[in-house]
Amino acid sequence: MRRVNNLGGPARYGVTGHGAEIASLPRRLCDGWKSAAGRDAERRGDVSTANAIRNGAAIVLVAGRGDDTSSPPGRGGVVSKSAEAPAAPESSRQRPGRRQLMLNAAAVCGGIVLWGAAVSFARVGLPSPGQVLARAIELVRSGQLLADLVASLSRVLAGFALGVALAIPVGFLMGWYSTARGLIEPFVQFFRMIPPLAVIPLAIVTMGIGETPKVFVIFLAVFLSSVIATFQGVVSVDKTLINAARVLGAKDGTIFRRVIVPASTPFILVGMRIGLGSAWATVVAAELIAAQSGLGFRMQQAELYYDLATIFVSLITIGILGLAMDRLLLALEMRLTQWQERM
């Protein structure tokens, strides 16, 4: 019973009575295991606890945070001792909680106020939040912001989709067949060391100044970061799981589909998130160098006219879009890998 909850604070224990008080605890948790919990308590010589459990009560571990008692089995409420009790993994990582969101919002507002104060008192030569907002409204009305945004986003998505589409099969190939690994790995490791941006001059010379070189560079950035992650995922699949599938009659094809693919999904998703980050970084840089549209191009134009407000609007848009896409992938990751035991 000496378990500290995963939020770090000390846990409170209590024996709840019959009926209403345990209603919030999942019923099946109490019913299924009250006998085992009772036996355990009895062995420890804790007779009153054992009796309480046998009468339908349960030992409830109340986590430090108030909202955790209603969570499903394994999330918050824990019955009985460690070996026969369901483990209690995460809770803090998935739900930030209202307090955290309030703090976030307050920090953002505070930042904007500080920015405004710095501009008006310190004469730093930067546009004020109001000016940036006005320019943003202007750019939205004229449709230019949307056009730039679509141009940049479509490059990112095209490069990202192509990169991931190639990285996943190649990563699996490398992890599954040592021959493929031996042949492909030197190239992957070598090109990984070259920043994708360094390829831009070459791409422009050989592919012209259209969309192709930009999408290519993004593709390269995404491919290189995702392929390693996928490969790592396949290599680190627990051999016991493969053996377990084999003894249940699975052949290679089934093992691949039903064991390797799901087991390496967490790695692939992490690789995709890293890939998305580098795609976003690459597109802006590529547009700064050679483009006729996009957020990077707009900033480059604004630079010529000393139009700081437009640069600010572009930067903030890039930040918000990148964050939104990352959160989207994170949500997907949480959904697809919720089976993982998180510490």
What is the contact surface with another protein in residues (CB under 8 A)? Answer: 28-29, 31-32, 40, 43, 73-74, 82-87, 89, 238, 240-241, 243-250, 254, 258-259, 262-263, 265, 337-341
- Dmax over CA atoms of the chain, in Å, equals 82
How far apart are alpha carbons 130 and 309 in whole angstroms? 10
What minimum distance in Å lies between the beta carbon of 87 and another protein?
Answer: 7
Three-state DSSP class for residue 307: coil
Q: Which is nearer to another protein, 247 or 304 (CB)?
A: 247
Whole-number minimum distance, CB 183 to another protein, in Å? 25
CB of residue 31 vs another protein: minimum separation in angstroms? Answer: 7
**What whole-number distance in Å separates Cα of residue 331 and Cα of residue 26?**
26
Q: Which residue has the tokens 């191009």?
A: 297
- In this complex, which beta carbon is closest to another protein, that of residue 122 or of residue 341? 341
Structure tokens at 73: 């089995």
* Shortest distance in whole angstroms from residue 37 CB to another protein: 11
DSSP of 89-113 = --STTT---HHHHHHHHHHHHHHHH
For another protein, the closer of residues 71 and 152 by Cβ is 71
d(CA 193, CA 25): 53
Cβ(89)–Cβ(6) under 8 Å?
yes
User: What are the CA-CA distances from residue 209 to residues 52, 149, 158, 282, 291 (Å)?
Assistant: 77, 19, 17, 16, 7
CB of 311 to another protein, least distance (A): 46
State the minimum distance, in angstroms, from the CB of residue 342 to another protein: 8
Residue 64 is classified by DSSP as S
Which residues does residue 62 pair with via DSSP β-bridges, in sequence order? Answer: 12
